[in-house]
Amino acid sequence: MKDVELDTTKLPQHVAIIMDGNGTWAKKRGLPRNFGHRQGAQALRNIVLFSNEIGIKYLTVFAFSTENWSRPKEEVDYLMRLPMEFLRSNEKEIYKGNIKFLCIGERDCLPLDLQKTIMKYENETVNNQRMTFIVALNYGGKDDIIQAVNRLLQEGISKIDNQKFEEYLYTKNIPDVDLLIRTSGQQRISNFLLWKLSYSELYFTNVLWPEFNKKQYIKALCEYSERDRRYGGIK
Ligand code: FPP
């Protein structure tokens, strides 16, 4: 792949990633699927650090969807352990990098030790300001909207506007996604951040997530910088 020059004045403020292709990566090598997820966590580390370095303000990744519970128990257990290991082994970089950590999704049914780890890192990084790193765990775009509606009903609120509604989403205080990247060749949203994706630029690549590196990321960011965003208007 040819090297491309990144124009840091035209970066998206919020990048979201569907990290697809871990299983395929492992299968191609005759390895168990969990090896693919482990390698995926390594790729994620590099993308988080590079995003922070170049000045991306929000990075959201889809780590476990509300539909992923249907996977074999061994894989689900591993996907529940990985975020804890990730946070612990990258703790220094997160603190030093002034990165705020947030988790979105229905966390009550996550294992208790994972819930505690999430809370610890959310609390300890609450004042960090350079970049916000958001992990979607047991997250579904439809569930997010439904839980918001239910909370509005519980509070007896009968009339809302866009701004008010956003306050009830898991993604409260997080701006709309500018660029959505999905790896591994599938071209769909898969119930990710439905509300926040309304005007996002979409970027699909055949590269499997464990092989998605800085160079691939720069290519996506460069393509984004050349997109003509009109938000329903005309030029
Ligand atoms: C989809 O690929 C990937 C997932 C459901 C899990 C993503 C998790 C990671 C990248 C691990 C790191 C995350 C954190 C937060 C540390 P797939 O395995 O379904 O791919 P396939 O379509 O090739 O089977």
Q: Which pLDDT tens digit goes with each residue over 123-161?
A: 999 999 999 999 999 999 999 999 999 999 999 998 999
Q: Are 134 and 60 in contact (CB under 8 A)?
A: yes
| CA 161 to ligand 1 centroid distance, Å | 35
Q: What is the pLDDT of residues 29-81, one digit of tens each?
A: 999 999 999 999 999 999 999 999 999 999 999 999 999 999 999 999 999 99
Q: What is the pLDDT of residues 91-105, one digit of tens each?
A: 999 999 999 999 999
- Going by DSSP bridges, is the β-strand pair 14-18/58-65 parallel, antiparallel, or unpaired? parallel
pLDDT of residue 7: 87
Burial class, 152, CB count within 10 angstroms (exposed 0-12 / middle 13-18 / buried 19+): middle
> How many whole angstroms separate alpha carbon 87 and alpha carbon 77?
17
Q: Tell me, letter by letter, the H, E, C secondary structure of 76-108.
A: HHHHHHHHHHHHHHCHHHHHHCCEEEEEECCCC
pLDDT band for 106, please (50, 70, 90 cuts).
very high
Say if domain 10-140+177-225 classifies as CATH 3.30.1330.20: no
**Which of 163-167, 194-198, 225-229 shows the lowest mean pLDDT across its residues?**
225-229
Closest ligand 1 atom to the C-alpha of 43?
Answer: 10
Q: 195-227: b or e for each residue (b if 16 or more CB lie within 10 Å)?
A: bbbeebbebbbebbbbbbeeebbbbbbeebbee
pLDDT of residue 12: 98
pLDDT at 205 over 80: yes
**Residue with CA at minimum distance from ligand 1 atom 7:** 63
Q: What is the per-residue DSSP string for 17-77?
A: EE---HHHHHHHTT--HHHHHHHHHHHHHHHHHHHHHHT-SEEEEEEEETTGGGS-HHHHH
> Does 86 sit in the ligand 1 pocket, CB within 6 Å?
yes
| CA 133 to ligand 1 centroid distance, Å | 17
Query: Structure pTM?
Result: 0.96
pLDDT at 3 over 70: no
Q: In whole angstroms, how large is the CA radius of gyration of the chain? A: 18
Q: What is the pLDDT of residues 153-185, one digit of tens each?
A: 999 998 999 999 999 999 999 999 999 999 999
pLDDT of residue 51: 98
> Does 20 sit in the ligand 1 pocket, CB within 6 Å?
yes
Domain boundary assignment for the chain: 10-140+177-225
- Beta strand extents in 110-199 (DSSP E only): 131-139, 179-182
| CA 100 to ligand 1 centroid distance, Å | 22
> How many whole angstroms separate alpha carbon 136 and alpha carbon 193?
9
